[in-house]
Amino acid sequence: MSRTIHVAYSRNGAGNSPMSLAVERGLFAARGIDLAMDLPMPRGEDVIKKLESGEADIATGSGLPILKAAMRGSEPVILMSIENENVFAIIGARGIESPAYLRGSTVGICGSEDQDGIMMQRALRDWDLDPHVDVTMKIFEGGRGAIWRALVDGEVSAMACTIPEPLNARAIGLPILHDFMDTPEPYQSGSVITTRTMADAEPELIRDIIGAQLEGIRLFRDDFEAAFPHLKKCTEITDVDVLRQTQILFGDAMLHYVPSEEPLRAVLKDVETFTGQTMDVDVSRIVDPSFALEVSSSLEYPNTAERAEDHADRRAN
pTM: 0.91
Rounded-to-integer distance, Cα 183 and Cα 195, Å: 33
- Per-residue pLDDT tens for 161-209? 999 999 999 999 999 999 999 999 999 999 999 999 999 999 999 999 9
- Exposed/middle/buried for 298, CB within 10 Å: 0-12, 13-18, 19+? exposed
pLDDT of 300 higher than 80: no
Rounded-to-integer distance, Cα 25 and Cα 29, Å: 9
Coil vs helix vs strand at 85: strand
Buried b / exposed e across 93-112, counting CB within 10 Å, b at 16+? beebeebebbeebebbbbbe
- Over residues 279-304, the mean pLDDT reads 82
Rounded-to-integer distance, Cα 135 and Cα 20, Å: 38
How high is the pLDDT of residue 276?
82
CA R_g for the chain: 19
pLDDT of 307 higher than 90: no
Rounded-to-integer distance, Cα 146 and Cα 10, Å: 13
Rounded-to-integer distance, Cα 165 and Cα 90, Å: 10
Q: How confident is the model at residue 317 (pLDDT cuts 50, 70, 90)?
A: very low
Rounded-to-integer distance, Cα 164 and Cα 14, Å: 7
Rounded-to-integer distance, Cα 226 and Cα 98, Å: 39
Coil vs helix vs strand at 306: helix
Instruction: For the chain, list the domains and their CATH numbers.
Output: 3-85+185-316 (3.40.190.10), 88-182 (3.40.190.10)
pLDDT of 211 higher than 50: yes
Rounded-to-integer distance, Cα 107 and Cα 220, Å: 34
Q: Report the mean per-residue pLDDT for the chain.
A: 91
Coil vs helix vs strand at 190: strand
- Side chain identity at residue 112, one-letter code: S
How high is the pLDDT of residue 12?
81
DSSP H or E stretch at residue 120: helix 115-126
